[in-house]
Amino acid sequence: MTFTEPIRKYILSGVVTFVVIGLIVANVLASKQDEEFLMNETLYNQAIQLQSTGDLPGAKTMISEVLKKQPNSEVANYAAALTMAQTGDMKQAAIHMQKVLDMNPYKVEDARFMMQFGEILVGAERYEDAKIVLLRCQEAQWTLEDVPNYQEQVAAMLAQIENSQSKEGTKK
């Protein structure tokens, strides 16, 4: 089957039109996505700023707004966990830390994250989970430059867990 010259021109103009329309649609959708991203980034940055200045209720509100729009954001869940922990809501902080770990399983190799997760789990009285996390910290023999007594802190939390569990055992 051979195409005549006018048919070739129609096919070519159809393909060019399709590509141009596709580029226009992609550009419009991308600009809307950029606006949404910038708005969420602004909210996130405001939350972090409020957290760093000690306005934890304000930070909590801002992070909640970010999480409403991006519930699967690793950084937003991490910030929410740390903010919740600072406000004393350890159970909610543990939920957010678990979400972070579910989203990024490689966090088990992050010494700082694992120590924070262990602290939060201890605070939430989830001792068995905390023990698993803290034993991972101990087995990996991690150290952090800005936390020179990292392993001592891990050992102290493990001892705290043992004390809490032995007290619970004597109560029963």
Residue 4 and residue 65 in one domain: yes
Same domain membership, residue 161 and residue 115: yes
Domain identity same for 28 and 83: no
- Clarify whether residues 79 and 64 are in a common domain: no
| Co-location of 76 and 65 in the same domain | no
Q: Which domain holds residue 148?
A: 72-172
Within this chain, do residues 150 and 111 fall inside the same structural domain, yes or no? Answer: yes
54, 90: one domain: no
Contact of 114 with 107, CB cutoff 8 Å: yes
Taking a C-beta distance cutoff of 8 angstroms, is the pair 38, 68 a contact? Answer: no
- According to the model, what pLDDT value does residue 46 have? 75
Which CATH number characterizes residue 125's domain? Answer: 1.25.40.10
The residue type of 167 is K
**Do 96 and 157 reside in the same domain of the chain?**
yes
pLDDT 10s per residue in the chain (172 long)? 677 888 888 888 888 888 888 888 877 777 666 666 667 677 777 777 877 888 888 888 888 888 898 899 888 899 999 999 999 999 999 999 999 999 999 999 999 999 999 999 999 999 999 999 999 999 999 999 999 899 999 999 999 999 888 877 666 5
- The distance of Cα 31 from the centroid of its chain, to the nearest Å, equals 25
pLDDT at residue 32 in the model = 66
Domain count, the chain: 2
C-alpha distances out from residue 122 to 26, 85, 105, 159, Å: 48, 11, 20, 11
DSSP 8-state code for residue 145: T
